[in-house]
Structure 1
Amino acid sequence: MAYLDYTHNPGLVVASLLVALIAGFTGLSLTKGLSERGLLQRKLSIAMASIALGGGIWSMHFVAMLGMQMPTLFYYDAAVTLASALVAILVVGIALLILHFRPRTPQMLVLAGTIVGLGVLAMHYIGMAGLELCRALYTPSGVALAVVSSVAFNIAAFACAYGQRSHRNILLGTVCFGVAVFAVHFIALWGTSFVAVEASTEVGPLIGNEVLAIGVVLTSFALCGALLLTGVTFLTPSPAAKAHPSERDKAQEPSGDKPTAESAKADAQPSPAPDTDTQPVTTTQIPYEQEGRSFFFDASAVAAIRAEGHYTHIYTKTGKFFCAWSITEAEKRLSPGVFTKTHRSYLINPAHVASFERLKDNGVCHFDLAALPKVPVSRARLKQVRAVLGV
C-alpha cells in the first residue's frame, strides 16, 4: 500500500489560523456579561456564540484542507462534511451552557474545555471521513497525542477566557483557543497517512475543492462580519464609565413590604457605577444595575454579596440584583466593619443573619431571604465569623 505524499500551501495555513482567531474572539466576546441579561437573551447569545465558535472550528479545518496538496484528485461527501460542522456547533453549545447555567467552578471549566477539546477532534475525524477517492489512515499514538493536546489546549483556553471575564482575559482566551484549534488540526495530521482508493462510499453528493472553497469563504465572511459587530461593542465603554462622577446621587433601599421594580426606581436616583479603573474609595453605597440603569442600595440594607465571575450579585429583602463590582472590589470599597467574608465567594452583613449552623469543620449562615436562604462559611474563616456573630 503506497502512501500519498502531501504538502501545505503556506498562505492557506496562515489563513486557517486567522479564521480560528476570529472565531474565538467573536464567540468569547458574545458571551461576555450574560449574567446581567434575561434568560432569553442569554440563550440567544449562547446560540450565536456556539455558531461562531463551532463554525470557526469547521472553517479553520477546511481552510487548512484546501491548502493540502496531494498528487491525486479527491472529493468530499457533502452530507458527512455538513455533519462535521453540526457536531462542532453542538459540542461548543453544550460547553457554553455548562459555563453559563452552572456554577463556574474550576471543575466546570475543566469539563467545558474537555468537551470542546473532544468536539474539535470529533469534527476533525468526521470531516476526514468525508474524503472520497482518498482514505485517511491513523496510528494509535497519533490519535492519543491529538486527544491529549486538544483537551489540554482547550481547557487552557476556557480557563483563560472564563477565569475572569475581563477584556484582557478574553483576548488571552482568544489566542489560546485559536492556537488550540490550529495546533490540534496539524497534530492530528502528523499522525495521519493517506492512500488513494478507487471505490466511492459517499452518503450524499460529492463536492470538490472549488465548491468547498465557496462555502468556506461565505462562512469566513460571516465570521468577519460578526467580528466587526462584536468588536465595536467590545471596544465601546459602557455609558456608566463615561458619565461624570459629579452626577452621582445616593438613594436608600425602601423598607417595609417587598417593593416592585417601579417603586425601587422611584426611590433610588440613577447614577453611574464606580469607575473600576481608578483606586477604590470607601463608600457606604452599593451600585446595582436594572434595565440598563444604575441605582444604589445603602450597604446596611444589603444582606450578602456573592461573586459571579468578574461581577457580583447583591441580596436584599427585595431580591437579587446584579452589581458590576468584583468581590475583591466590594471588600475594598465598603466601609470596614459592615461586611464579613465567610468564603472566597461571599461577603455577609452579620446584622441580617437569622441563624448560624456549625458543621464538622465549617458552618452555614442562614438568612430569611427567598433568593439566598443560606451562605457557606469556610473552615479558614469559621473562627472569625463566629466571633463577629458572638457564637
Structure 2
Amino acid sequence: MDQTLLEISHNAWLVMASLAIALMAGFSGLSLTRGASRLPSLQRKMTLVIAAIVLGGGIWSMHFVAMLGLELPIRFYYDGLMTLVSALIAILMMGLALLILHFRNRTAVTLTTAGSIMGLGIAAMHYVGMLGMELCAPVFDLTGVAVSVLSALLLSNLAIWVAYGARTRGNTLLGTVCFAVSVGAVHYIAMAGTGFVPNDAFAVGPEISNEVMAMGVTVTAFVISGAFLLTGVSFLEPVAEAVSTPAVPEPRAPADPGHEIEEPSLPPVPFEKEGRTQFLDRKSIAAVRAEGHYTLLYAGSEKLFCPWSISEAESRLAPSHFIRSHRSYLINPSFVTGFERKKDTGVCLLASTASLQKVPVSRSRLSEVRNALGI
C-alpha cells in the first residue's frame, strides 16, 4: 500500500450545505421535545423516537454531505454496512440522551450525562463513518482525534445545558446553534487531523458510490428540511394563545344567595418522581420555590420537582390566584396562616405545610402580598 498522503480539498458550497443541515436538524429535534416531559409516557416515547431520528439523521447527513464535498485525486466508495452502522450509532446515542433528559429529574448530573452521551455519539458516528471508506483509507492523527472528541463533549454539553436550562424559544435557538457547531466542529477538526492513502482492502458490505450516497443524503436532507418547516411553523405560534392565556368564562347572571358558583376546571401541575411525570391538583399546592431553572412544589409534607421555571409557573398558576412573594417564591394565599412584618420585608407563615413553614416576602412584593391577604 502506498503510504503517500493524498492531496485533499473541499467544495465550499457543500461545506455550507452540511452546516445548514446540522442547524435544521438541531432546531427540529430540540423543538419537537419542548413540552415532551408533560406528555403521557407512550406519547412521550414516540416523540423522543422521532426527535432521535431527526437529530441522529441530521448528524449522519451533515457528515456525508461534507464527505461529498471532499475532493481527492482518486475515486472512492463507502462500505454499506459500516455506513448503516454509523447512522444507527448516531440515532441510538441521541435517543439515549433524550430518554435521560425526559424520563429522569433534570439535575446537573443528568444534564451533563446526556450532553456527554450526545457528544460521544457525534464523535463515534464520524469515525465509524470514516472507517467505511473504500479504495482509500483514513489515517488519523491522535491529537486530532483527542481535540475533536473533547470539542464534541464540551459543545454538546453546552447545547444541552442551554436548550434544557429553560425551555424557552431563546434557549431552543441558542441550543440549536450550539448543537450545529458541535457537529460541524467534530467533523472539520477531525478532518484537519486526518490524511488519506490509497487502499485496496475489500468491503464488508455492499459498495456505495458517491452518486448513490448523494441520492441517499438528498432524501434524508429533504426529510430534515420538512421537519424543520413543520416545527418552525409551530415554534412561531404565539405563546399567549397556545399556552399561557387562560380561558375567560362568559359572564353569568348572579346566583341565588348562598349558592356557590363553580369555578372553571384548571389543569393539574406536572412533577417528576421516580423517573415518571405525574400530576398534582393545583389547589393542594401551598407554595412554589425556584430551583435553578426549575421549581419545587410544596404540598403538605411533600417537596416535588417541577419542570416549569418560576416565570412559567407564575404565568400558569395566575388563574389559581397564586402570587409572587419573592423572586424565588410563589404562594397560594389560601394556605397562609400568619404574616410577620420585618421592616421593609415580611414573612408568610404556612402552618399546614410541613415541608415549608415560612416564605419570604421581598420589599417590592410587600404591598401586593398584603393586598392579597387583605391586610
Preserved contact between residue 90 and residue 122 of structure 2 (Cα < 8 Å): yes
Q: TM-score, normalised by structure 1?
A: 0.71
Preserved contact between residue 322 and residue 331 of structure 2 (Cα < 8 Å): no
The match for 2:220 is 219
Name the CA shift for 1:137/1:340 in 2 (closer, same or farther; >3 Å).
same
The match for 1:61 is 63
Per-residue CA distance 1:321-374 (angstroms, 9 max, x = gap): 999963256579879998989xx7997999599xxxxxxxxxxx9999xxxxx8
Name the CA shift for 1:217/1:349 in 2 (closer, same or farther; >3 Å).
same
Mapped partners of 1:166, 1:205: distance in 2: 45
Q: Which amino acid aligns with 2:60?
A: W
The match for 2:210 is 209
Name the CA shift for 1:184/1:324 in 2 (closer, same or farther; >3 Å).
closer
1:96 to 98, 101, 119: 98
Name the CA shift for 1:347/1:151 in 2 (closer, same or farther; >3 Å).
farther
Preserved contact between residue 83 and residue 129 of structure 2 (Cα < 8 Å): yes
Mapped partners of 2:303, 2:236: distance in 1: 29
Q: TM-score, normalised by structure 2?
A: 0.74
Q: Which amino acid aligns with 2:77?
A: Y
Name the CA shift for 1:306/1:38 in 2 (closer, same or farther; >3 Å).
farther
The match for 2:163 is 161
Mapped partners of 1:210, 1:109: distance in 2: 40
Mapped partners of 1:304, 1:233: distance in 2: 32
SS in 1 for 2:74: coil
Q: Name the stretch that deviates more: 35-44 or 46-55.
A: 35-44
Mapped partners of 1:155, 1:322: distance in 2: 22
Mapped partners of 2:351, 2:218: distance in 1: 57
1:367-386 to 2 correspondences below 5 Å: none
The match for 1:254 is none
RMSD: 4.1
Per-residue CA distance 1:141-173 (angstroms, 9 max, x = gap): 111111111111111111111110000100011
Name the CA shift for 1:330/1:230 in 2 (closer, same or farther; >3 Å).
closer
Per-residue CA distance 1:287-334 (angstroms, 9 max, x = gap): 7479xxxxx955xx42454669867685768x9999996325657987
The match for 2:198 is 196
- Post-superposition offset of 1:233: 1.2
SS in 1 for 2:184: helix
SS in 2 for 1:137: strand
Name the CA shift for 1:329/1:224 in 2 (closer, same or farther; >3 Å).
closer
Name the CA shift for 1:308/1:216 in 2 (closer, same or farther; >3 Å).
farther
- Post-superposition offset of 1:237: 2.4
Per-residue CA distance 1:23-64 (angstroms, 9 max, x = gap): 000000000011221111111111111000000000000000
- Post-superposition offset of 1:229: 1.3
Per-residue CA distance 1:93-136 (angstroms, 9 max, x = gap): 11111111111112221111111111111000100010011101
Mapped partners of 1:45, 1:178: distance in 2: 21
The match for 2:236 is 235
Runs of 4+ in 1 over 4 A off after TM superposition: 240-249, 287-290, 306-317, 319-325, 328-341, 344-353, 365-368, 374-377
Preserved contact between residue 249 and residue 264 of structure 2 (Cα < 8 Å): no
Number of residues of Structure 1 aligned to a counterpart in Structure 2 = 324
The match for 1:176 is 178
Residue 36 in structure 1 maps to residue 38 in structure 2: yes
SS in 1 for 2:49: helix
Mapped partners of 1:242, 1:336: distance in 2: 15
Name the CA shift for 1:336/1:152 in 2 (closer, same or farther; >3 Å).
same
Higher relative contact order, chain-length normalized (CA < 8 Å, sep 6+): 2
